[in-house]
Structure 1
Amino acid sequence: MATTLPAGVAAHDIDTPSGKIHYIEAGEGHPVLLLHGSGPGATGWSNFAPNIEYLAKSFRVIAPDMPGWGDSDTAIAGTRNHVQTALEILDGLGIDRAAFVGNSMGGMTSTRFATTHPARISHLVTMGPSSGSPGMFGPAGLTEGLRILQAAYRDPSIESMRKLVGIMTFDPAFATEELIEQRSHIASSRPDHLQNFIDGLGGDRSRLQLEPSKIAGIKAPALLIHGRDDRVVHFEHSLRLHSLISNSRLLLINRCGHWAQLEHAGEFNRMVTDFIAHN
């Protein structure tokens, strides 16, 4: 299932020390890096298709497939470092500072990037990330959504993707057959990516932790967006981030699951555009 990009949106590849990175680019102006989540079939385009054209009216938008996803190279299980990859993308494209907009895993990468490379990030926008610390209100261990996500890596069939897209969204209208088929096709076309993710499960996760003291040191203005009905990552994680980051605001959206940028695309696009333009 080839993706037909709209006019003004182009696909490129760039060679980095992390391997070949495929990315979508559109627009001009201040750079905005869109980082996708960890689900099977996730890519820069599939995660942000309702947002890229709108944001590109005001900014230079770059949406990469991170190592182990989409058309980018696969990283060896347990060694991928998306913070380093993001830095390499900026360097390779000659970008000094960019706004980071990250969903779920991409939100964690963006937050960690803000703690390690503060001079290279102008704004921090997250949607549904973990705060890197155990939650108080979610279940012990994996959430319902993460269990379904991991199962879809082992079986990227249409039926598995139907469950995945269903758990990611609050409104069933957004769990379209087109999106389900797209995610299944992308995931099934790269068995190396699927195995890479499976091999990394249960490994040492300490490198993924976010220390509260480091989060509290983030100086970039932050917009934290979370769905109240998120069944993948409970909204308490964004509450925790909001309590730690001094220059932050929190947007908690009712009737919204894990993909705020999809289910509430209009509000998301306006909020992010205004936030980056005026902060």
Structure 2
Amino acid sequence: MAKEPERKRVDTPAGHISYREAGAGAGKPVLLALHGLGGNSATWRAQYAALSDSWHIIGWDAPGYGETMVIGPDQTAFATLALALMDHLGVGEFSVIGHSMGGIVAQAVAGEGGDRVKHMILSCTHSGSAKPASEPLSASYATRIAALEKEGSAAYAAQRSGMMVADGAPEAVRATVEEIARGVTAAGLRTCATMLHHADTRPVAPTIRCPVLLISGAGDKVVSHRQSEALAALYPAGRHVRLEGVGHAPYMEAPEAYNALLREFLST
């Protein structure tokens, strides 16, 4: 698999953000790609390679990832930062794809961006944990942060990569997921996990008018079938595709099928 484009960094009025891009060119539609907790802008390696003939793909690094600043752990603040990146790069209309944690942000971006957002793709994600501001971070997130701080990024990535892929996934795929996950830092994981803990996209969903594609993995060990179905219920006009034989990283486990879905949907 081809390597991802080089990381870039920009300073916007909302703060500094790092990102990668492929397929830049006049007249090409833009796809903003938002990764999950275990990823970064390199997550979309297979999509940069396969889709940049037709789309200008911009993959950001979430707050605390790559060279992006840490900001307040709030879904609207994350959306504001993502829209600031689009503004800085001179992008007007765009489509957005969000995977897992990035799917929460994608929904917030679509809500805040309004008519600027032409398509929304939600990949292996949900509507947020919706915990009140007074409630401390859940034990599952706190344990992951503590493990990363104690054991280091390499050990953390090795442990999490097994959760990301379906049972029986090729070792090369798991190894690539692990390689990318080594970039996770405790600061990034803490701010993004806190955002997820309190996020709630249910009030946002009715305001989103663009076409919606929901993708889930039949072997996903991170986002449950119940969570996928609950999210689909928020977007009754959306299309829900459940991919067999993949887990929580279908963009890498089955890139041909995943990219074909994106190409078809984004072309409508």
The answer to whether the superposition gives a TM-score over 0.5 is yes
The change in CA–CA distance for 1:86 and 1:204 in structure 2 (over 3 A counts) is closer
| Cα distance change, pair 87–76 in 1 and its aligned pair in 2 (3 A) | closer
2:45 is aligned with 1:55: no
The offset of 1:237, in angstroms, is: 2.4
Partner residue of 1:126 out of 94, 107, 122: 122
Q: 2 CA distance for matches of 1:204 and 1:48?
A: 21
Residue 125 of structure 1 aligns to a residue whose secondary structure is strand
Q: What are the equivalent positions in structure 2 for 1:142-153 lying under 5 Å apart? A: 149-150=144-145, 152-153=147-148
SS at match of 2:261: helix
8 Å contact kept, 2:111–2:204: yes
- Once residues 241 and 212 of structure 2 are traced to their aligned partners in structure 1, the CA distance between those partners, rounded to angstroms, is 11
- Is contact 1:35-1:101 (8 Å) kept? yes
- Cα distance, 1:178 vs. partner? 4.9
- Equivalent of 2:190, from 189, 198, 211? 198
Partner Cα distance (1:55, 1:152) in 2: 36
What letter is aligned with 2:37? S
2:80 alignment partner, one of 81, 84, 96: 84
Counterpart AA for 1:195: A
Amino acid at match of 1:197: L
**Over the residues paired in the alignment, what is the CA RMSD in angstroms?**
2.8
Query: Is the Cα contact below 8 Å between 2:9 and 2:17 reproduced in 1?
Result: yes
Aligned to 2:255: 265
Matched, 1:173 2:163: no
Deviation at 1:55, TM superposition (A): 1.2
Alpha-carbon distance in 2 for matches of 1:113, 1:76: 16
Q: Report sequence identity in percent.
A: 25
Aligned CA distance change for structure 1 residues 121 and 240 (closer, same or farther; 3 Å)? same
Give the CA deviation at 1:215: 1.0
Gaps in structure 1 of 5+ consecutive residues: 135-140, 188-192
TM-score if structure 1 supplies the norm length?
A: 0.80
Once the two structures are superposed, what CA deviation does each residue of 1:104-153 show, in whole Å capped at 9, x if it has no partner?
Answer: 1111111122223221211000111122357xxxxxx777xx68754553
The answer to whether the Cα contact below 8 Å between 1:168 and 1:258 also exists between their aligned partners in 2 is yes
Matches within 5 A, 1:31-110: 31-39=30-38, 42-45=39-42, 47-72=43-68, 74-76=69-71, 78=73, 81-110=77-106
CA pair 264-142 structure 1, distance change in 2 beyond 3 A: farther
| CA–CA distance in structure 2, aligned partners of residues 147 and 164 of structure 1 | 14
Query: Residues 248 and 214 (structure 1 numbering): CA distance in 2 closer, same or farther, change over 3 Å?
Result: same
- 1:137 is aligned to none
Going from structure 1 to structure 2, the CA distance change for 1:247 and 1:71 (only over 3 Å counts) comes to same
Superposed CA offset, 1:214-256 (max 9, x none): 3133211011001122111113223222222243100111222
Residue 201 of structure 2: which of 205, 210, 234 is its match? 210
User: How far apart in 2 are the matches of 1:258 and 1:126?
Assistant: 12
Q: Deviations over 1:57-102 (max 9, x none)?
A: 1111111112210122x31454682111111011111111111011
Q: Which amino acid aligns with 2:258?
A: F
Q: Tell me, yes or no, if structure 1 residue 233 matches structure 2 residue 233.
A: no
Supply the AA of the counterpart residue of 2:70.
Answer: A
**Secondary structure in 2 aligned to 1:50?**
helix
For residues 71 and 223 of structure 1, the distance between their equivalents in structure 2, rounded to whole angstroms, comes to: 30
SS of 2:19's partner is: strand
